């Protein structure tokens, strides 16, 4: 981002300023609807056409984002009654144009996401919408694509049950998950089921991009060509239902940045205010956008402007979607991390399955937490899984340095002096010949970290091998791009010791499942937990007690013996 910017109306004072600001937002909304999605097109053309579709039908992250953003621009979010007649609802909306897709879900009430075939239909729908019949003085005349449905359900019986099929937006409770896992026939099937039950659905992904698009309509009042797009778990393939929505306000695509100035003669430049630093620019932009979201954003509550953090952000809850949202404006390294994790997940299906399983296990035992503290974060845990997969023989995924060596000129990326270059075309990456089962990988993941020398060694997915710790910290995981940073610096010795002990006991429990076949899952009775289900239970329920003595041991002889027997057994199966 350049160290200059233009902001109109930084201070909202008086009713006149309020009306002017709302008019700006409304103008930007209609501009967005009446034209093609310039921002999405800009993002989509950043890569060559050959990079848009990867081999075996895999899409690049750029192609996925462009598709989702374009869908979001043609969509509206409607609050409706739980007894709404779906046929009447669709018939009414179809008057404005063809409906391409729709679905219902429950948050703070019942909502519908409706995607039209073209943007003209959205403009027609908004043109026919009415301002609520409330006192003019207490209504903020802000127009957006978040609407409320009235009267259509009035002819239905008050006692009529909802006939709407609502798409789930959260994961199943852990107790229900354990029961379902216990009915599966193998640990591999358990891991696959857990992944399918926890990963973001098609509908939830569309909703996340729609929320970003709704927020973009507000930001576009000041920056008409901006993009707001999700990053992190919402798009990297490792997000579970209910995860937070991290959003990035991207101003790099605004036209005029790369205009070639003539060597001589007349030329024009925009007059812009300047700030002391890029950080100051980011803080000012987020302050204004945060104020607009707080004052005018329908359904946006609990707005916090956390501008003095290492990465300034605006945090709020979006009640219509149920998402906890974080908006940043200068976090490009995080965008590259998102792309990298997405690429790893696309390379081999076992990557996502193992990450989902380990994350679920970690949350079940309090290794991770949604509350900031000394816990291991989901990102750190994901990097640990990737590192383990790089250490297999043969490796299941390549190192970041290997991906950098495969990169072409279009992949070149240097952000704030950090080399963030890696290949984006999956067809250039040779797939692994490793055929290990998910069961074996999960068991050996726990054994790998139960015996890892955290006291001396650092985890590094750029090199794919252990390195000496560059600093004194219980757990050191090198940031893949900002290599001087430790992404697990917050983790204390107590939490690390607990993680190691849980790895030891979970490895042992999985070994026990080799000799304990699932029982009772064919009958209607509650199945007996086994396999993956046992390591998701509290360890005292599973019949295991973590002793202080064994917590200090790198790994017990019992675990080593059982793991060795499993290796021999698997080798016999292969031969």
pLDDT, tens only, 373-390: 999 999 999 999 999 999
Find the mean pLDDT for residues 331-341.
94
Q: For residue 18, is pLDDT > 70? A: no
Least reliable range by pLDDT among 97-106, 119-128, 147-156, 512-521:
512-521
DSSP per-residue string spanning 380-419: HHHHHHHHHHHTSSS-SS--HHHHHHT--GGG--EETTEE
Find the mean pLDDT for residues 475-497.
96
- Long-range contacts at 543-551 (CB < 8 A, ≥ 24 apart): 544/505, 544/508, 544/509, 546/501, 546/502, 546/505, 550/501, 550/504, 551/497, 551/498, 551/500, 551/501
pTM score, two decimals? 0.84
Four-way CATH pick for 349-397+432-574: 3.90.650.10, 1.10.20.60, 1.10.1410.10, 3.40.50.880: 1.10.1410.10
State how far the alpha carbon of 485 is from the alpha carbons of 227, 418, 478, 518, in Å.
28, 12, 6, 45
Listed by start position, the domains of the chain span 14-172+199-254+277-332, 349-397+432-574
Q: For residue 558, is pLDDT > 80? A: no
Q: Decide if 274 contacts 2 (C-beta within 8 A).
A: no
Residue labelled with tokens 């991009």:
209
pLDDT, tens only, 275-308: 899 999 999 999 999 999 999 999 999 999 999 9
pLDDT band with cut points at 50, 70 and 90 for residue 371: confident
pLDDT number for residue 141: 80
Residue 551, class by beta-carbon neighbours within 10 Å (0-12 exposed, 13-18 middle, 19+ buried)?
Answer: middle
pLDDT number for residue 520: 46
pLDDT number for residue 134: 64
pLDDT, tens only, 434-459: 999 999 999 999 999 999 999 999 99
pLDDT, tens only, 45-77: 444 433 444 444 578 898 999 999 999 999 999
For the four alpha carbons of 280, 282, 284 and 290, in that order, the dihedral sign comes to negative
For 14-172+199-254+277-332, CATH number? 3.30.460.10
Least reliable range by pLDDT among 2-6, 171-175, 561-565:
2-6
Which is nearest to 66 in space by CA: 229, 232, 239? 229
Residue labelled with tokens 């239905």:
156
DSSP per-residue string spanning 77-99: EEEE-TT--HHHHHHHHGGGS-E
Which tokens go with 78? 């409607």
Q: For residue 550, is pLDDT > 50? A: no
Query: Strands 467-468 and 457-458, how do they pair?
Result: antiparallel
Q: For residue 476, is pLDDT > 70? A: yes
Residue labelled with tokens 């046992």:
534
């Amino acid at each position: 981002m350049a160290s200059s910017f233009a902001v109109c109306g930084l201070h909202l004072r008086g009713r006149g300023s309020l009306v002017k600001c709302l008019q700006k937002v409304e103008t930007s909304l209609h501009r967005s609807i009446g034209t093609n999605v310039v921002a999405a097109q800009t993002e989509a053309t950043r890569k060559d056409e050959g990079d848009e579709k990867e081999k075996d039908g895999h899409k690049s992250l750029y192609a996925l984002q462009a598709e989702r953003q374009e869908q979001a621009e043609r969509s509206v979010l409607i609050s409706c009654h739980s007894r709404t007649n779906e046929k009447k609802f669709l018939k009414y909306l179809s008057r404005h144009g063809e409906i391409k897709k729709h679905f219902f879900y429950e948050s703070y009430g019942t909502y519908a996401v409706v995607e039209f075939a073209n943007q003209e239909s959205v403009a027609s729908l908004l043109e026919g919408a009415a301002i609520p019949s409330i006192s003019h003085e207490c209504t903020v005349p802000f127009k957006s694509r978040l609407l409320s449905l009235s009267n259509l359900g009035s002819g239905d019986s008050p006692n009529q049950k909802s006939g709407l099929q609502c798409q789930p937006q959260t994961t199943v409770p852990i107790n229900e998950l354990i029961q379902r896992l216990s009915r599966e026939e193998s640990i591999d099937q358990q891991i696959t089921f857990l992944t399918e039950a926890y990963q973001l659905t098609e509908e939830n992904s569309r909703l996340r991009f729609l929320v970003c698009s709704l927020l973009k309509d507000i930001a576009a009042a000041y920056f008409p060509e901006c993009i707001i797009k999700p990053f992190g778990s919402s798009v990297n393939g490792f997000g579970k239902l209910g995860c937070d929505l991290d959003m990035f306000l991207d101003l790099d695509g605004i036209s005029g940045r790369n205009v070639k100035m003539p060597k001589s003669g007349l030329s024009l430049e925009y007059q812009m205010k300047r700030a002391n630093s890029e950080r100051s620019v980011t803080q000012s932009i987020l302050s204004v956008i945060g104020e607009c979201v707080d004052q005018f954003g329908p359904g946006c509550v609990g707005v916090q402007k956390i501008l003095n953090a290492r990465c300034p952000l605006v945090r709020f809850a979006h009640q219509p979607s149920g998402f906890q949202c974080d908006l940043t404006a200068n976090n490009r390294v995080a965008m590259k991390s998102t792309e990298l994790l997405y690429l790893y997940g696309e390379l081999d299906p076992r990557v996502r399955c193992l990450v989902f399983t380990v994350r679920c296990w970690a949350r079940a035992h309090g290794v991770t937490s949604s509350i900031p503290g000394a816990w291991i974060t989901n990102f750190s845990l994901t990097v640990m899984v990737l590192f383990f997969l790089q250490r297999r023989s043969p490796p299941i995924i390549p190192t970041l340095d290997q991906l950098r060596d495969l990169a072409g000129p279009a992949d070149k990326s240097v952000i704030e002096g950090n080399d963030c270059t890696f290949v984006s075309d999956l067809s250039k990456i040779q797939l692994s010949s490793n055929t290990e089962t998910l069961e074996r990988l999960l068991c050996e993941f726990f054994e790998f970290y139960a015996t890892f020398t955290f006291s001396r060694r650092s985890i590094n997915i750029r090199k794919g091998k252990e390195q000496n710790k560059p600093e004194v910290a219980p757990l050191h995981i090198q940031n893949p791009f900002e290599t001087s940073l430790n992404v697990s610096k917050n983790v204390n010795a107590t939490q690390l010791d607990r993680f190691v002990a849980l790895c030891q006991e979970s490895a042992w429990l999985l070994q026990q499942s080799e000799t304990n076949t699932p029982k009772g899952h064919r009958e209607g009775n509650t199945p007996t937990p086994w396999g993956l289900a046992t390591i998701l239970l509290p360890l005292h329920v599973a019949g295991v007690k973590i002793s202080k003595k064994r917590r200090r041991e790198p790994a017990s002889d019992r675990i080593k013996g059982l793991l060795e027997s499993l290796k021999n057994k698997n080798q016999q199966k292969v031969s």
